[in-house]
Chains A and B, each alone.
Chain A
């Protein structure tokens, strides 16, 4: 060790060690800051480029971060919560009308879940006739949770809510605003014991959504006429695929996508999307508890060069929201229609049987105690 200390530079001329070049080299690697820095940067670059299927262990460090930063985050969130806007951008500014709209939306949510359940039951009957084993009723629980942080990096946006696995939250659970507006879902790797991460549907990486539009349903309370029989028939609804826009630096911005070609039916006029119509989720890649939730309101309708129509859907929430309601999927439902585990299904393609997704569970979801304590 004494020799090593003497030979501190490359141009050392002392003849203290017979194998001096070897000793000098090993010494220089461990003590030359530039060499160490280069090695560290190369290591970090390799970690950065590690494919997602090998980098799951990094999530553990990320979840530890939630606990470590909580003492600073918590008081700041209390202060920020006093000045934060609520997430009801699409509603009327008149409190009376806004209250009526909210009440109407909750009734509609219950109604559409029943419609969806009926549709699922019909699918079950059709499948049972072919001898397939199907799920029974798929219940879900609801859990109010406060948003404790929202980390934005570039265009990526992830919300942290104070509800974790100890509150029963599972991967694939759905976060809802105002009771009926779909905010996003809790992805695989997004649940720790006290905190869960929510990927909003407006995140550029959130992917496409299959949605339904009922021409008879409008977001405007005064324009929303009494529905006639068949107005909310799923078979006659407009189907579209919408996804977050990735061309601009906006966040929480509109979703857009093409409307699918309508089915021609004799004696029935073709339904066309219009501004103000309500867009609802109907996607087999999402859990049953998310089906028929409101994705947003149509804010623009364009005609593409190929003649097809493209809609722009504006969600009714404004990020970051202060509080969400987590719809916790049951174990059976998660297994059937929640997000698949990366280790089980390469490419994360969910393995849903046809018509197994859109069941909305029980008409009366069972509430569980909110988690309002500090993590």
Chain B
């Protein structure tokens, strides 16, 4: 895995998350795509087993820093470091476990992995935020509404991956991954 390419891609997708999640929200719902998750799934599909979870942790930390949550009835704001990092870490492990039974270049397999990875990460986030709301009343949680919104986000991320997946797969060489469909790998 080429760390410079991964860092550049992570920066780019971080910016996408910051700028596009709001405008691309589905109608009047809170369903928004997660670009960072698409990148993580791409890295997890092709990357080395030992490195990918740490990359997932780093990407999740970036998402945590991006998200600010209102507390005390909206009178203050707080960034909470941890929930997305743990969620992305879990998602990376799930994709690593599933990638052996998936066709890596099939766009629908990639869609499924993106949707499943996002859903798992969001489940972890909702669980942590719900637990947090029990311990600290400054940030009340509405788990059912959150789960509905985040399930929509998972589906939406899967749909977005249909566009981003082929683009990322074109750049497989830049990331230092072996292309499973290249002539050299087919000869093996």
A binds B: yes
Binding site for B on A (CB under 8 A): 33, 37, 40-41, 44-49, 51-53, 55-56, 58-59, 61-62, 64-65, 69, 71-73, 76-77, 80, 84, 148-159, 184-185, 187-190, 197, 199, 201, 203-208, 246-253, 285, 319-320, 339-340, 342, 347-348, 350
Bound CA–CA A190/B78 (angstroms): 8
Q: Which residues of A contact B63 (CB under 8 A)?
A: 153
Bound CA–CA A139/B122 (angstroms): 45
Q: How far is the CB of A134 from chain B (nearest CB, A)?
A: 24
Bound CA–CA A55/B149 (angstroms): 26
Choice from A61, A72, A187 contacting B70 with Cβ under 8 Å? A187
Q: Which residues of A contact B12 (CB under 8 A)?
A: 72
Q: Which residues of B contact A342 (CB under 8 A)?
A: 72, 76
Q: Is B1 an interface residue (CB 8 A)?
A: no
Q: How far is the CB of B69 from chain A (nearest CB, A)?
A: 5
Q: Which residues of B contact A205 (CB under 8 A)?
A: 69-71, 73-74, 139-140
Do A187 and B76 touch across chains, with their CB atoms under 8 A apart? yes
Q: Is B103 an interface residue (CB 8 A)?
A: no
Choice from B75, B79, B153 contacting A187 with Cβ under 8 Å? B75
Do A157 and B30 touch across chains, with their CB atoms under 8 A apart? yes
Bound CA–CA A158/B67 (angstroms): 8
Q: Which residues of B contact A250 (CB under 8 A)?
A: 28-30
Scan residues 97-144 of chain B and give those whose CB is less than 8 A from a CB of chain A.
Answer: 122, 125-126, 128-129, 131-132, 135-136, 138-140, 142, 144
Binding site for A on B (CB under 8 A): 11-12, 14-23, 25, 28-32, 50, 53, 57, 62-63, 65-83, 85-86, 89, 122, 125-126, 128-129, 131-132, 135-136, 138-140, 142, 144-146, 148-150, 152-153
Q: How far is the CB of A254 from chain B (nearest CB, A)?
A: 10
Q: Which residues of A contact B153 (CB under 8 A)?
A: 154
Give the nearest-CB partner of A246 in chain B.
B142
Do B81 and A248 touch across chains, with their CB atoms under 8 A apart? no
Bound CA–CA A205/B122 (angstroms): 19
Q: Which residues of B contact A199 (CB under 8 A)?
A: 70, 74, 77
Do A188 and B77 touch across chains, with their CB atoms under 8 A apart? yes
Choice from A37, A61, A155, A187 contacting B77 with Cβ under 8 Å? A187
Q: Which residues of A contact B138 (CB under 8 A)?
A: 51-53, 348
